[in-house]
Structure 1
Amino acid sequence: MTDLPTPPDRTVTRRMPLDRDRVLRAAIRLADRHGLESVSMRKLGQELRVEAMSLYKHVDNKDDIFDGMADLVVSEFEVPADDVDWKSAVRRSAISAHEVLLRHPWAGGLIESRPSAGLARLRYLDATIGVLAAAGFSMPIIRRSIMVLDSYTYGFALQESAWPFEVGTAPQVAASFVRRVPAGDHPNLAAMAESVMDAPDGISPEFAFGLDLILDGLERLRGPVER
């Protein structure tokens, strides 16, 4: 008997439905790979394999995308906990924010430039204020403290992302510096470079070092805790 022909495979691959979260996460992936300037409706459509016009069902415009991207990144920050001492809570939160900003080097400037804060940013700030207030800091000191902590965290991440080398290769970079720069002309720089060469972790702990200086300084400004 003659074999019947195999019917064509009519299986249809289902595409995940498009929504606001998918659009924003695709925008973040684009920015992580190619920088914030790469984010456009056309490129987002290509990333999601849809027509660019279909994106407007989920986002209003490019500013709306930037607002959403900023808030999604902030949602990755660890919110300060109110069940540990204030210094541990703020320290863990700042270290978390620093790590997130290193994963998304474009995000610091975007977050700070948005005219209105998203829900994640509001939750993060409100929790930070609450932890510091409960620890006995006055509101003027809290306001200044948040500015200092943000400036340090965002600024340190920006500086690291601009370095022309990976943090883990700092000892090798320092060794190259020592070979190129005469120690007799710049003895203090040479001595510091040699200390980096000998450091087991290169310069990776430096963010925590500076953060602890800030927190220790704030401790002196703390008022009595009301019982």
Structure 2
Amino acid sequence: MRLSREAVLRAAVALADEQGVARLSMRTLAEELGVVPMALYKHVSSKEDLLDGMVDVIVAEIDPPLGERAWRTTVRSRILSARTVLQRHRWARQVLETRTTRTPAVLAYTDSFIGMFLDRGFSVDLTHHVMHALGSRMWGFTQELFDAPEPGSVQSGPAQPGSAQLEEMARRFPNILRIATASAHGEGVVGRGCDDQFEFEFALDLLLDGVEGLHARGWTSARP
């Protein structure tokens, strides 16, 4: 197989998809490609460079902006595309959260994301604050109330609370119990019984509705 940087990065992405990023190393990647580890260093300078390049691969999978569509439709579609990509590559969130290098691909995505607001008449001031509010949501994820357990991890305690535990919760934490038992969704990272996708889109729409109101009112951060 003729190696190139693109071939190495795509193989690394596929390996992380299959085995998880924790098991990815230059040695395991070399074995997968049928080469000696030193052969990889002609194309990636280090494990960090490899991870940065893998991020570039997944960023390229996110859909581009929707042309002349309304800003809300365009932003929402792009964010949900990013979320689809992260759901396809489950390791990507962990890697994105640890990156300190902003590669040209990452900078280009961020720049075009900002452009979706500026090109539709948003002020620089409002766009600045909107980007802060969106945070990691622009990459398709948020830090939820509870992190999802690592695959294969052992969780202590029963899978479902028993009647005695429910009675104790009802006594000590009645509001938590009311919320927990009101949900009819599947299991997710927001909390047992919640639907991650539904909660993500609910919060996204809530945020975009607020942004739309600020934009319509000509909001500015300047103090009166």
TM-score band w.r.t. shorter chain: 0.7 to 0.9
The question of 1:211 aligning with 2:204 is answered: yes
Residue number among 196, 200, 219 corresponding to 2:183 in the alignment: 196
CA deviations on 1:145-167 (whole Å, 9 max, x unpaired) are 2232233455845549932499x
Aligned to 2:77: 92
Paired residues, number: 204
The answer as to whether partners of 1:32 and 1:104 remain within 8 angstroms in 2 is yes
Q: Which SS does the other structure have where 2:202 is aligned?
A: helix
Paired letter, 1:124: Y
1:114-129 equivalence runs, <5 A: 114-129=99-114
Describe how 1:28-47 pairs up with structure 2 within 5 A.
28-47=13-32
Q: Which residue of 2 aligns with 1:149?
A: 134
Q: Which residue of 1 aligns with 2:60?
A: 75
2-side partners of 1:113 and 1:203: how far apart? 22
Equivalent position amino acid for 1:222 in 2:
H
* 8 Å Cα contact 1:105/1:158 also seen in 2: no
- Residue 112 of structure 1: how far off its partner (Å): 4.8
1:70–1:111 contact (8 Å) kept in structure 2: yes
Aligned equivalents of 1:135, 1:177: Cα separation in 2:
54
Taking only the aligned residue pairs, the percentage that are identical comes to 38
Q: Distance in 2 between matches of 1:114 and 1:87?
A: 28
Q: CA deviation at 1:138?
A: 1.2
Larger Rg: 1
Cross-structure match for 1:56: 41
Partner of 1:23: 8
For residues 109-143 of structure 1, the C-alpha deviation after alignment (integer angstroms, 9 at most, x for no partner) is 43354344334323322222222012221112212
Residues 64-98 of structure 1 show CA distances to partners (whole Å, capped at 9, x for unaligned) of 21221111111122222232100011011111212
SS state of the match for residue 222, structure 1?
helix
Q: Give TM-score scaled by structure 2 length.
A: 0.74
- Consecutive unaligned residues of structure 2, counting only runs of 5 or more, are 152-157, 187-192, 219-224
Amino acid at match of 2:203: G
Report the structure, 1 or 2, having the larger helix content: 1
Deviations 1:155-190 (A, max 9, x none): 845549932499xxxxxx997577742234433222
Structure 1: segments with no counterpart, 5+ residues: 1-15, 167-172
Structure 1 residues 43, 189: closer, same or farther in 2, change over 3 A?
Answer: same
- Secondary structure of the 2:67 match is coil
The one-letter code sitting in structure 1 at the alignment partner of 2:184 is M
State the AA in 2 paired with 1:50: V
